[in-house]
Structure 1
Amino acid sequence: MCENKVQYFVLKLFLFGYCCFWLTVGGIILSIGIYAEVERQRYKTLDGAFLAPAIILIVQGLVMLLVSLIGAVGSLRDNITLLKIFMYTLVVFLVLELLGGIVVLALRTQTKKLFNKSIRKGMMNYYDDLDFKNIMDYVQKKFKCCGGTDFKDWEVNMYHNCSAPGPLACGVPYTCCVTSKPNEVANTLCGSKALDKERLEGATPIYLTGCTDAFLLWVEENYVIIGGLLLAIIVPQVFGLVCTWFYISQINTEEEDVPRSGKTPHRMIKMFVPQ
C-alpha cells in the first residue's frame, strides 16, 4: 500500500509539473503572438495565415494553454474524464505529426510546388508586409538563396518587375546579393537588372539557387540537427502520454482498493477532490 502511495504522488507531481511547464510555454507564445499581431495591425500589414505568423503563434499558444490546462486540472483533481481528454489529445497530435511527415515525404514534389506557390504569393506583397519581408530577408541571407524556385520569382513583385519604373525594376532585393564576409553590408542596388539578363553565369552578384532547394539541401546536410529537433518535439509528447496513462491506471487501482480496505483514496489537496 505504501508503494502505491509513492507511485501515486510521484506520478501526480510529474504530470502536474509537466502540464504547468507547457502552460507557461503556451502563455509566452500567446503573448508574443498578441504583441506581434498588435504591431502588424498598427502598421497595417496584410492579412493571411502565411503572411501573418502572429496568427499562427496566437493559435498555437491558445491550443497549448487549453490542452495544458485540461491536463493540469485533471491531474490536480484526479478527474479521469479530463485526463483521458488530455491523453487522447496528445495521441491525436502525435498521429497528425507522423501523418504530416509521411505525406510530406511521399508527396515531396507536390509539397515543394505548393510551398513555392505560397512563397511567390508572399513575394508579391514583399514591401507591404513587414512580417513576410523580415522572414524572407532572413532566409535569403541565412541559406544564401534568392526567391522560391529561383531568383526570377521576383518578377511577380510590382517593384521588381521589368515593366515597373524606378531603380528596383528588373532587380532583386539586396538580401539576394553575394557577400564575402559574415557581417558585410551589401549594396542595396547590387541586384539591379539581374532579371533582365537571359542567363547569369560565373561570378554573379546574386545567389541563383531558390530558397526551397537551398533549405532542402541544408536539411540533408544537417540531418542530425533535424533529427534532434524532431525528437525534441516528439519525446515530450510521448512522455506526457505515458505519464498520463500510468496515472490513470494508478487512480483506477486506488479506487479498486477502496472497497477492500474501507479507506478513502488519498488526495494531495482535499479541496480539489472530485465529487
Structure 2
Amino acid sequence: MQTSRLVELPQSSDDDDDISLLGDADDPVAKHNTEEWCKPSAFSRCVWHLAFLWNLLFLLLGLLTLGIGVWGLLAKGWLQGERLASLGSDPMLLFVLAGLGASTVSLAGCLGVLRSSTCLLRFFVGAVLAFVGLEVLGGLLLLVARQRLRDALQDALLLCLLRYQEEPDLRFLVDEVQRSLRCCGLSSYRDWESNPYFNCSAPGVQACSVPASCCLDPRQNGSIINDQCAFGVLHLGDMAAAGVVHLGGCVVQLGAWLRGQAGGIATGAAVLVLLEATGLLLVLKVLADIVPGGARG
C-alpha cells in the first residue's frame, strides 16, 4: 500500500518551476513592490529640480555676461579684421571669456540633469572643481606674491595711463578711480607727462594738461563737467597746481582702498565658493541617483 501511494504522488518538474517563477513575476503585488523600489523619493526629485534651476540661473547669467562683452566689442569695432590683432588688450574680452565659460558649464549641467547623462554631469563636476582650484590658487598668490602683484598692478595702471585716449573702457576706469579716490596719475599728477597727448611737447590743445577727473572741482556750476578745468596744469608749479588738481598719485590710494575692502572681498569670494559648492553637491546627488539604476552616457 505504501509503495502504490508513493507512485501516485505528483512529481515536480523544471517546467513547473519556470511556470511558478513566471507566475511570481506577473504577480501585481511583486510588480508594485518593484516600482516602489525604483521610484525616486521626494527628496531626490527636489534635488533634481534644484540642480536644474541652479544651472539654468547661471546659464542665463553667463549668457548675459557674454552678451555684454560681445556688444562692447562690436560697439568699438574690435571684431573687424584689421583690429583683431589688438583685441587681447580690451577689458571687454574678460566679459566674453567669463560669460562663455559660465554658460558652457551651466549648459552642460542643465542638459545632464534633463537627460540623466553621466558624461555631461561629470564634465560639469570637473569644470567646477577646476574653477574652485583656480580661485584657491589665486587667493594663495595674493597672500604669497603681494609685492609682485603690486608691481603688476602698477604696470597695468601705467598702461591705462598711456592708452587713456585710445580705449573708452580704460578712460572710464581711470576717470572713475581718480574721481573716487581723489588722486591723479600713478605716484603724482606729473606722471601724465608720459602720455603722448598730455605731454608738453604734444601739438594738440591738451598739451601740458591732465584729465578733468584730476580736478578738485571738475563740475562747473555744480552740474556740468568742465573738461578744460585742468588745461595747462603741468606748466604750473606744485603750489599753484595744488589749487586746481589733486597732486597725489593713485597707487598708494588704491592700495589703501583695497586693504580697507579686504573683508568685503573675502566675503564675496566665500559666497562664490559656497554657490559653486552648492551646485556641485546637487549634481553629485543627481549622479548618485543615476548610476545605480543604469547610467546613460
TM range (shorter): 0.7 to 0.9
Are 2:181 and 2:253, in contact at CA under 8 Å, matched by a contact in 1? yes
2:166 equivalent in structure 1: 128
**DSSP 3-state at the match of 2:41:** helix
TM-score (norm 1): 0.80
Partner of 1:28: 64
Using the size of structure 2 for normalisation, the TM-score is: 0.75
1:20, distance to aligned residue in structure 2 (A):
0.4
CA deviations on 1:12-40 (whole Å, 9 max, x unpaired) are 11111011001111111111111111111
SS in 2 for 1:17: helix
What SS is found at the alignment partner of 1:49? helix
Q: Is the 8 A contact 1:177 1:186 kept in 2?
A: no
1:226 aligns with 2:265: yes
User: 1:215 aligned to 2:254?
Assistant: yes
The one-letter amino acid paired with 1:158 is: P
Counterpart Cα distance in 2 of 1:157 and 1:48: 21
Aligned runs of 1:174-189 on 2, under 5 Å? 174-179=212-217, 185-189=224-228
Q: How far apart are the structure 2 equivalents of 1:243 and 1:212?
A: 43
For residues 164-194 of structure 1, the C-alpha deviation after alignment (integer angstroms, 9 at most, x for no partner) is 234422221010112398x654543333344
Partner of 2:103: 65
SS class of match (2:164): coil
Partner of 2:25: none
Q: What CA deviation, in whole Å up to 9, does each residue of 1:102-154 have, x standing for no partner?
A: 21232122112112212222322211221211221122212222223433331
| Cα distance change of structure 1 residues 208 and 244 upon mapping to structure 2, 3 Å threshold | farther
Q: Distance in 2 between matches of 1:190 and 1:241?
A: 54
Would you say 1:160 and 2:218 are equivalent positions? no
Provide the identity percentage.
26
Cα separation, 2, equivalents of 1:225 and 1:201? 39
Moved more, 56-65 or 20-29: 56-65
> More deviation in 62-71 or 136-145?
136-145
Letter in 2 for 1:250: D
Cα–Cα, structure 1 residues 210 and 163, in superposed 2: closer, same or farther, change >3 Å? same
Q: Which runs of 5+ in 1 are unaligned?
A: 256-264, 266-272
Rounded to whole Å, the distance in 1 between the matches of 2:79 and 2:117 is 46
After TM superposition, the structure 1 stretch with the greater mean CA deviation from structure 2, 32-41 or 224-233, is: 224-233
* TM superposition shift of 1:83: 1.1
Residue equivalent to 1:13: 49
CA pair 8-43 structure 1, distance change in 2 beyond 3 A: closer
SS at match of 1:207: coil
Give the deviation of 1:198 after TM superposition. 6.3
Alignment of 1:117 onto 2:146: no
Does the 8 Å CA contact 1:36/1:54 hold for their aligned counterparts? Answer: yes
Please list every run of 5 or more consecutive structure 2 residues that lacks an aligned counterpart in the other structure. 1-36
Q: Tell me which amino acid in the other structure corresponds to 1:15.
A: A
Whether the 8 Å contact between 2:218 and 2:227 is mirrored in structure 1 is no
Report the Cα distance in structure 2 between the residues aligned to 1:36 and 1:239, rounded to whole angstroms: 32
Matching residue's letter, 2:286? Y
Relative to structure 1, is the Cα distance of residues 158 and 179 closer, same or farther in structure 2, using a 3 angstrom cutoff? same
1:78 deviates by 1.7
Query: Could you tell me whether the CA contact under 8 Å between 2:161 and 2:192 is conserved in 1?
Result: yes
Any conservation in 1 of the 2:212–2:218 contact (CA below 8 Å)?
A: no
Of the three residues 55, 62, 77, the one matched with 2:115 is 77
- Residue of structure 1 aligned with 2:134, choices 91, 96, 103: 96
**Cα distance change, pair 63–133 in 1 and its aligned pair in 2 (3 A):** same
After superposition, the Cα gap between the structure-2 partners of 1:196 and 1:203, relative to the gap in structure 1 and judged at 3 Å, is closer
Q: Which moved more, 1:65-74 or 1:37-46?
A: 37-46
User: Which letter does structure 2 place at the counterpart of 1:29?
Assistant: T
- State which structure, 1 or 2, has the greater radius of gyration over its C-alpha atoms: 2
Contact 2:218 2:229 in 1 (8 A): no
Secondary structure of 1:161's match?
Answer: coil
User: How far does residue 66 in structure 1 lie from its aligned partner after superposition?
Assistant: 0.7
